[in-house]
Amino acid sequence: MTNSFAWLLAVPALGLAGCLTLAPDYERPAAPTPAEWPATAAETVAESPENLIAWNEFFADSKLQAVIELALTNNRDLRIAALNIEKAQALYGVQRADLLPSIKATGAGSKQRTPASLSSSGAAMESERYEVSLGFAAYELDLFGRVRSLNAQALERFLATEQAQHGARISIVASVANAYLALAADRESLRLARETLDAQQAATDLIRRRFDVGDASEIDLRQSEMSVESARVDIARYAGQVAVSENALALLVGAPIPAELLPTDLGSIAAIPELAAGTPSDVLQRRPDILQAENTLKAANANIGAARAAFFPRIALTAGYGTASDDLSGLFKGGSEIWNFVPSITLPIFEAGRNRANLRIAQADRDIAVAQYEKTIQTAFREVADTLALRRTLVDQLTAQEALVKAAQATYRLAEERYKSGVDSQLAVLDAQRSYYGAQQGLVALRLAQLANRLTLYKALGGG
């Protein structure tokens, strides 16, 4: 009898070994983008990059590294993404378990009394039954790959969730770095505004003394006072921006940031390197969102196999082996063995079009996933192309802005000298000072834009 039960347990393994899948053969859709970047970015892609460097090597600044580490530990969005991976992994484990029978050991005992009026012998009867068995119930022989297709679908969804977590990690790193740079730029702008206020306040005090002795006109004094108040407005505005930037950075990090880790200005941050963009095919192999979209497409493709298998018979097995006795002490005596083997087959005959509709749904889901995959590729191509196109123009703008700052500084110095020597009015000095201050603020904005552009390219290429 033991050999009989071993044969029963071998049946599911035979069915599993011989199973197939009705899912269509997967073919990666052709990328709906050009093979090269636009001509406007041609000079930036002369060489194809190796795997992108890790973020803690790309960002050389030790303070910024420490802030990013805090974010990777405490950011709630990233924590949710990690928990989603655990959930997807558990769901895959549940689905994978359906490939093998669930074997359970059971034990039961019962005792009952039958009254004389219901007894066939006309006398009251008492009966007992004790049973111990080992077996499985309703195990599906996956002859047409329905369970295997569902298992493949669960695996691809798990892999897609992993890619989503990778994408979330890159996004958090980039967002923290962007917020850190923005805070540095705001603090630098605030410092420039304060330095300008100090210079204008000193000039106003001098003009007031000259006005008191009759060497300066009232209009010079009032115009100088207007410049002082304008600088105070800028200080208040930039102070507000600094506070907002600090709050944004703290939210991304998800924990208090030590004051010594915060930047003072853009110049205090170690340089962020430029990257070669390579070719569009390089990007397709690295970007987590593209890999996630392809995993989702593979999952939809596997689901077609499960929908097709619904048209074919489903064979389920129930089997068990054990011992039973009307006396507890006789459970394991000779002759008490019991076994059962219950195969069943279900053949769909009339489903009112349900199976065909489910197959059409699965095929439509696959087509939707293809379109989403292609759109993700197109979005990635545009992000990289836009970043490359801006990179060259930002270099030109930055060069011109640096020249403008030097010219404005020289003009301001000459205007002061001409005013002190009585050749020019205070109005010319104020105009020159405003131009110099505006050029400095413009330079800060462009330096921030250039660093943000390099950071955007790092993220658009798929991170490290």
- What confidence tier does 40 reach under pLDDT thresholds 50, 70, 90? low
- What confidence tier does 80 reach under pLDDT thresholds 50, 70, 90? confident
* Structure confidence at residue 6 (pLDDT): 47
Please check whether residue 443 is in contact with residue 394, taking contact to mean a CB–CB distance below 8 angstroms.
no
Distance CA 106, CA 54 (A): 54
* Structure confidence at residue 32 (pLDDT): 87
Query: Same structural domain for residues 42 and 191?
Result: yes
Whichever domain contains 68, its CATH number is: 1.20.1600.10
Query: Which of 33-37, 141-145, 174-178, 212-216 has the highest average model confidence (pLDDT)?
Result: 174-178
Query: Same structural domain for residues 149 and 136?
Result: no
Query: Same structural domain for residues 385 and 424?
Result: yes
Helix (H) or strand (E) holding 112: strand 103-114
Please check whether residue 142 is in contact with residue 12, taking contact to mean a CB–CB distance below 8 angstroms.
no
Query: Same structural domain for residues 328 and 440?
Result: no
Query: Which of 81-95, 131-145, 207-221, 449-463 has the highest average model confidence (pLDDT)?
Result: 449-463
Residue type, 306: A
Please check whether residue 276 is in contact with residue 44, taking contact to mean a CB–CB distance below 8 angstroms.
yes
* Structure confidence at residue 1 (pLDDT): 42
Locate 223 and state its tokens.
């115009």
When computed from its CA atoms, the radius of gyration of the chain, rounded to whole angstroms, is: 38
Which of residues 383 and 129 earns the better pLDDT score? 383
Distance CA 443, CA 266 (A): 11
Query: Same structural domain for residues 164 and 208?
Result: yes
The three-state secondary structure class of 11 is helix
Question: Average pLDDT, whole number, for the chain?
Answer: 84
Residue 9 scores a pLDDT above 50 = no
Condensed to tens digits (0 to 9), the pLDDT of residues 315-328 reads: 888 888 888 877 77
Which residues lie closer than 8 Å to 383 by C-beta, 6 or more apart? 456, 460
Query: Same structural domain for residues 174 and 129?
Result: no
Query: Same structural domain for residues 132 and 37?
Result: no
- Mean pLDDT within 189-218: 85
Which of residues 98 and 437 earns the better pLDDT score? 437
Whichever domain contains 327, its CATH number is: 2.20.200.10
Residue 400 scores a pLDDT above 80 = yes
Domain membership flag for residue 120: no
The three-state secondary structure class of 396 is helix
Helix (H) or strand (E) holding 284: helix 280-286
Query: Same structural domain for residues 329 and 307?
Result: no
The three-state secondary structure class of 215 is coil
Residue-range definition of the domain harbouring residue 5? 1-22+103-111+125-141+313-347
Domain membership flag for residue 285: yes
Distance CA 316, CA 137 (A): 8
Residue 11 scores a pLDDT above 50 = no
Total domain count, the chain: 2
Domain membership flag for residue 134: yes
Distance CA 61, CA 32 (A): 38
Which among 352, 341, 442 has a CA at the least distance from the CA of 400?
442
- Mean pLDDT within 194-223: 83
Distance CA 202, CA 225 (A): 11
Query: Same structural domain for residues 369 and 225?
Result: yes
Please check whether residue 320 is in contact with residue 135, taking contact to mean a CB–CB distance below 8 angstroms.
yes
- What confidence tier does 147 reach under pLDDT thresholds 50, 70, 90? confident
Query: Same structural domain for residues 184 and 164?
Result: yes
Lowest-confidence range among 4-8, 349-353, 428-432, 447-451?
Answer: 4-8
Distance CA 165, CA 69 (A): 16
Quote the DSSP letter at residue 392: H
Distance CA 321, CA 20 (A): 30
The residue from 303, 323, 347 where one domain ends is 347
Which among 176, 274, 263, 277 has a CA at the least distance from the CA of 444?
263
Which among 35, 31, 46, 33 has a CA at the least distance from the CA of 388?
46
Domain membership flag for residue 36: yes
* Structure confidence at residue 221 (pLDDT): 82
Query: Same structural domain for residues 161 and 192?
Result: yes
- Mean pLDDT within 376-395: 90
* Structure confidence at residue 248 (pLDDT): 93
Query: Same structural domain for residues 205 and 340?
Result: no
- What confidence tier does 50 reach under pLDDT thresholds 50, 70, 90? low
The residue from 297, 327, 347 where one domain ends is 347
Please check whether residue 90 is in contact with residue 79, taking contact to mean a CB–CB distance below 8 angstroms.
no
